Amino acid sequence: MMMNMVQALNGALAMEMERDASVVIMGEDVGLDGGVFRVTDGLMKRFGPERVIDTPLAEAAIAGAAVGMALNGLRPVVEMQFMGFSYIAMNQMINHAARMRNRTRGRLTVPMVLRMPYGAGVKALEHHSESTEALYAQIPGLKVVVPSTPLEAKGLLTASIRDPDPVVFLEPTRSYRMLKEEVPEGEHILPLGKARVSQEGDDVTVVGWGAMIPLIQKAVAGMKASVEVVDLRTISPMDTETLVGSVNRTGRAVVVHEAPRSFGPGAEIAARIYEGAILKLEAPVERVTAPDITIPLPKGEDHYYVNERMIKEGVERALRF
Amino acid sequence: MLTDEFDPLKGEMLRIMDEEGNVDSSLKPRISKEVLLKAYRTMLLTRLADDKAVKLQRQGRLGAYAPNKGQEASQLGPAMALKKEDWMVWAFREMGALLWREVPLSTYYLYWMGNELGNVYPKDLKVTPAAVPVGSQIPHAVGIAYASNLRKEKSVTLVYFGDGATSEGEFHEGLNFAGVFQTPNVFVCQNNQFAISTRRKRQSASPTLAQKAVAYGFPGILVDGNDVLAMYAASKEAVTRARKGKGPTLIESYTYRLSDHTTSDDWRKYRSKEEVEEWEGKDPLKRFRSYLLSQGILGDEEALQKELVDIVEKAAAEAEAVPAPSRQDVFVHTYSEIPAYLRRQMGGDGT
């Protein structure tokens, strides 16, 4: 069935709730309203208010209660309305969810998913355009997953719900309704921690994730060079093998992310490429990113957001070097 | 209902046993002699084991340690009200409660000696590990209780925290959640008058902490935290209320930390000797002992003391004999499966 990302995510949630009675959804306005982006639309009606829980406005308690639920046999899938509001929940994610398995040597685990829309490019309100995946990716014990298309969204969310570890699941706001593609109505599951080569090529590797993937594909579509596009899918734990394997073949790499440049995931990706492919590299790893500034309000957003031209120029620089 | 009789808004405090060990028979909870004796034994063991932990720290054999002295009744009373199927979520100053729930003393020592195996409690024991970030464990208790409720289990979740925690956002968010969802929770605030050096008055202008429950829509009660019978009675009522599906309760245990916050500070810097001496007069162990003696329940005290000292020594030796974690131990539990790059960081087979 042709679906956009919102429908695909909704389908994954419904299927997992149907399959496993321990899966519960919790968050602000996720029930009656179906979530601010309607990702959980209709689920309260179908599964009842005890499993699709409209909560008080309290991000720390949402994440913290999810930790408790997971400790006591549930698989909570909780929603933060926007990434910019998730920071209050970080105490729970970093100090508890991420480390429970290790600090109890596996006696207690926290199989939970913290879902949230992230990213700019939709002219949203202040604090609604954050792309701070690096903050979560820095934390050992957390998995950070980002889908790039509806099909990917269904497969990766299903895998995240079934995963035994806490997953921060970032949904690209810009891609929620941008494109439709064929998504199976039945079960569809993709592996976590595995990157995907979304386009094969020989001359240069372009690495990205989430909303950057369709943008990269558009940017490189008319280029003469043969471009390989790697959709990282999981920021952490990162699939170094696919990444480095690709660059070892192409000899050139461009990392694209909409997060600010400094200390962004691009730096880690570049480091892994240097560590694993230095002898094959024909050019320095190019970084195409947002500048290190506060995300402007909508009128100034274009100064911030990565665009096709920037990607094209980055790829050309890598090829020209 | 004790929560009706003792109104925190009027500053009323539940006390059953006075400082001399005289008991108000109209309020006395029904506890068998065996359980009373076991309670005393656990409190005394806590005192002795706590003292040993401080000594081990001074000798460099145990890391920074949070002493329990003075709070033995405050910790134990609530734990006594729980059943095996009930969850207990502790902060980091509840040794007596852990011992009551049968967390081995050697395991408790092991944690403070700096080994994660000290968080590995016996299988199926419904006790979470220590929560060091103050107040952060409160929402866990709410989530645990919600899950029990969803499965229609009759399990109750009790959570401990201190007076300092009541200033944290997670206290508010957690209790507010509990009130909204009417989760089967018992919130036990061990008000030991200090958050490290900061006095209770600096945490809140609220005359009592128990009265904060009113704003969350459930009962709160102020209890003499050095009276184990009162702590048990208030907790028992709260646990019963939660088990019947009638929602949460906040218990403020009015107590006093007789020792340092941890072995890394010195209480003399922020309070007077006179103040501490005054509270030593209200020692929860002394008053419980007086009561048990008056009832003829306490037998050979010397033999008991010797037996408990042996237990403490044995537990300390057992914990010290546990080897430090291997390199593999500290890597392999980061995720359910170790990623390839992490295996490379670990190097070799990790041994």
Contacts of B170 (CB under 8 A, 6+ apart): A60, A61, A64, A91, B135, B136, B138, B139
Nearest to A67 among B121, B143, B342 (CB): B143
Roughly what angle, to the nearest 10 degrees, separates helices B72-80 and B33-58? Answer: 140
Which parts of chain A register pLDDT below 50? none
What pLDDT does B318 receive? 98
What pLDDT does A123 receive? 86
Q: Is B121:A107 a contact under the CB 8 Å cutoff? A: yes
Q: Does B340 touch chain A (CB under 8 A)?
A: yes
- Digit-coded pLDDT (tens) for A142-192: 999 999 999 999 999 999 999 999 999 999 999 999 999 999 999 999 999
- Token pair of B333 as six digits: 């539990």
What pLDDT does B23 receive? 97
**Catalytic annotation on B216?**
no
What pLDDT does A122 receive? 85
Contacts of A302 (CB under 8 A, 6+ apart): none
User: Which B residues 109-138 touch A at CB under 8 Å?
Assistant: 116-117, 119-121, 123, 128-129, 131-133, 136, 138
Note whether A2-182 and A196-320 share their fold: yes
- Digit-coded pLDDT (tens) for B120-136: 999 999 999 999 999 99
Q: What are phi and psi of B300, to 5 degrees?
A: -75, 100
Domain chopping of chain A, boundaries? 2-182, 196-320
Cβ-Cβ contacts under 8 Å, A70 against chain B? 143
Residue B74 C-alpha, separation from nearest chain A C-alpha, in angstroms: 24
Roughly what angle, to the nearest 10 degrees, separates helices B72-80 and B284-294? Answer: 60
> Average pLDDT of chain B?
97
Indicate the helix (H) or strand (E) that contains A116: strand A113-118
What pLDDT does A153 receive? 98
Domains contained in chain B, CATH given: 2-325 (3.40.50.970)
- Full-model pTM: 0.97
What pLDDT does B349 receive? 58
Fold for the domain defined by A2-182: Rossmann fold (3.40.50)
Cβ atoms within 10 Å of B107's Cβ, excluding its own = 20
User: Which A residues 109-128 touch B at CB under 8 Å?
Assistant: 109
- Digit-coded pLDDT (tens) for A192-206: 999 999 999 999 999
What pLDDT does B225 receive? 98
What pLDDT does B196 receive? 94
CA–CA distance, B152 with B137 (Å, rounded to integer): 23
Judge: B174–A74 Cβ closer than 8 Å, yes or no.
no
CB-based burial of residue A73 (10 Å sphere; 0-12 exposed, 13-18 middle, 19+ buried)?
A: middle
Handedness of CA B9, B10, B11, B17 (dihedral sign): negative
Q: Is B333:A101 a contact under the CB 8 Å cutoff? A: yes
Confidence bin at B11 (pLDDT 50/70/90): very high
What pLDDT does B350 receive? 47
What percentage of chain A has pLDDT greater than the value 70? Answer: 100
Least confident of B68-77, B166-175, B208-217, B339-348: B339-348
Q: Does B279 touch chain A (CB under 8 A)?
A: no
What pLDDT does A121 receive? 84
Cβ-Cβ contacts under 8 Å, B177 against chain A? 55-56, 58, 61, 65
CA–CA distance, A137 with A188 (Å, rounded to integer): 25
Judge: B142–A65 Cβ closer than 8 Å, yes or no.
yes
Residue B9 has pLDDT above 80, yes or no: yes
Average pLDDT, stretch B298-304? Answer: 94
Q: How many CA atoms lie within 13 A of A317 on its CB side?
A: 15
Confidence bin at B288 (pLDDT 50/70/90): very high
Confidence bin at B351 (pLDDT 50/70/90): very low
CA–CA distance, B142 with A64 (Å, rounded to integer): 8
What pLDDT does B101 receive? 98
Domain spanning A196-320: which CATH class is it, in words?
alpha beta
**Residue given tokens 């068998």 in the structure block:** B32
Q: Does B262 touch chain A (CB under 8 A)?
A: no
- Token pair of B155 as six digits: 């399990």
